[in-house]
Amino acid sequence: MKDPLKIGLAGLGTVGVGVVKILQHHSDLISKRAGRPIQIIAISARDQGKDRGVDLSGYEWVKNFSTMSNHNGLDLVVEMIGGAEGAVKDFVYSSIKNNKHVVTANKALLAHHGADLAQLASDNAVSVGYEAAIAGGIPIVKTLREGLAANNITGVFGILNGTCNYILTEMRETGRDFEDVLKEAQDKGYAEADPTFDVDGIDAAHKLTLLTALGFGVKPDFGALSITGIRDVSADDIKFAADMGYKIKLLGIAKRSGDKILQRMEPCLVKKTSAIGNVEGVFNAVCVKGDFVNEVLNVGPGAGEGPTASAIVADIIDIARGNVPPMFGVDAKTLQHASWADANDIQSACYLHLEVKDQSGVIADITSVLKNHNVSINKFIQPGFNDNGTESIVMITHKGQYKDILAGMIALEKLDSILTKPKHLRVEEI
Ligand code: HSE
């Protein structure tokens, strides 16, 4: 058997402890699969004295994780601290410069600096493994970079945040509003005390940025992404969508649109009966469309100790085997700046939700505005009075130019009979 691969772990939170557990528990199995033993040499975390429920006594304790980047006894460092800038970024950069492989779950770092890191890793002949950064335990990096390497990828889309999917599922099943479900999720420890990254779509957008880079061979470009989270999705929207045969999901979408790429993160309506519509609770799902394979859907746990550590150890095993494909599936030098499609050019059906005064002629006024903006109605319901005495009108449009629908929304808002800002969500046909 070859020499062991010697590794250092920076960060011993939930995921770090999971990695230790797997490497201890499956040490023989992993040695056989990797063709060489994988040895934890050094570990680092803020609190050395804390009982983490695993035996850490055989490992060298490193006070400052940054110093692992030039530790002579290490071939690979696992970064499990997080953050796109500062000491963690410096640690990853200097580890690569010192010819150490890096495995990380740090989606923010990669979404902001991925192209640069891919070039640096290539220049230093090391690998940056990041399977754990996208959709936790789902092996989507391997799927896109290796399993589907024969295909021209035409689209990648998915449910990339378990917290949002849990909240939307719970809202639908119980009829409760966003704030109420979020609070309960926080009390139970499912959602972070500061939920911003999750519910505003940023965490999922980091992941989509990487999926787009992998799928289309372009530089990760987080700044180019249009991001809308789930705060404005109401219990009513979820109920009205259900009445018309749909569920609302926070979807990350990247697809070819002519010679451009359309990339968006937003709550969308999907058919209740669709495969992705049936991915519920904390689960994640990523669907890839390729010209020869047609469509592949991967569903699984997107977070948590076991799934995330499983993805990290898979990367370590790959590196131990010497399987080191380019970070985004093509030589870093050939990664292109993407040409992004304009949202105005999207062809889409939309869900519209209007709160109106209950008076004669309201529907005539609304349909007249929509007609003037080339918006054609496919489904229409008037579910009844709301608690505050207003009336809701809900529609699904036929597929049309998104810019026409946006213009129609602006014109509708000016009508006297429309009481609140009209709401629209795209219907994604998948
Ligand atoms: N907070 C994420 C989620 C997992 O809720 O899915 C880590 O990205």
CA 286 to centroid of ligand 1, rounded, Å: 14
Out of 6, 89, 100, 207, pick the active-site residue: 207
Higher pLDDT, 358 or 145: 145
Question: What value, to the nearest 5°, has the Cα angle with vertex 264 and ends 341 and 129?
Answer: 105
Which residue puts its alpha carbon closest to atom 7 of ligand 1? 303
Dump pLDDT digits (tens) for 305-325: 999 999 999 999 999 999 989
CA 19 to centroid of ligand 1, rounded, Å: 18
CB distance 404 to ligand 1 below 6 Å? no
Contact 65, 44 (CB under 8 A): yes
CA 168 to centroid of ligand 1, rounded, Å: 14
CATH number, domain with residue 272: 3.30.360.10
Evaluate whether residue 331 is within a structural domain: no
How far apart CA 123 and CA 328 sit, in angstroms, is 15
Same domain, 157 and 281: yes
**Which helix H or strand E contains 23, and what residues bound it?**
helix 14-25
Question: Residue 157: what pLDDT?
Answer: 96
CA distances 343 to 157, 213, 225, 407, Å, are 16, 19, 11, 13
Cβ–Cβ contacts within 10 Å for residue 379, how many? 15
Written as six digits, the tokens of 303 are: 């977070």
Same domain, 150 and 223: yes
CA distances 55 to 4, 52, 236, 294, Å, are 20, 8, 51, 47
CATH number, domain with residue 368: 3.30.70.260
CB distance 307 to ligand 1 below 6 Å? no
Determine whether 91 is exposed, middle or buried from the number of CB atoms within 10 Å of its CB (0-12, 13-18, 19+).
buried
Same domain, 276 and 352: no
399 catalytic residue (yes or no): no
The number of helix segments (H) and strand segments (E) in the chain equals 13, 17
Residue 36, phi then psi, degrees to nearest 5:
-165, 155
Dump pLDDT digits (tens) for 15-73: 999 999 999 999 999 999 999 999 999 999 999 989 999 999 999 999 999 999 999 99
Question: Residue 409: what pLDDT?
Answer: 95
Q: How many residues does the chain have?
A: 430
How far apart CA 14 and CA 18 sit, in angstroms, is 6
Question: Residue 25: what pLDDT?
Answer: 98
Same domain, 275 and 165: yes
Predicted TM-score (pTM) of this structure: 0.96
Query: Residue 264: which domain range?
Result: 140-302
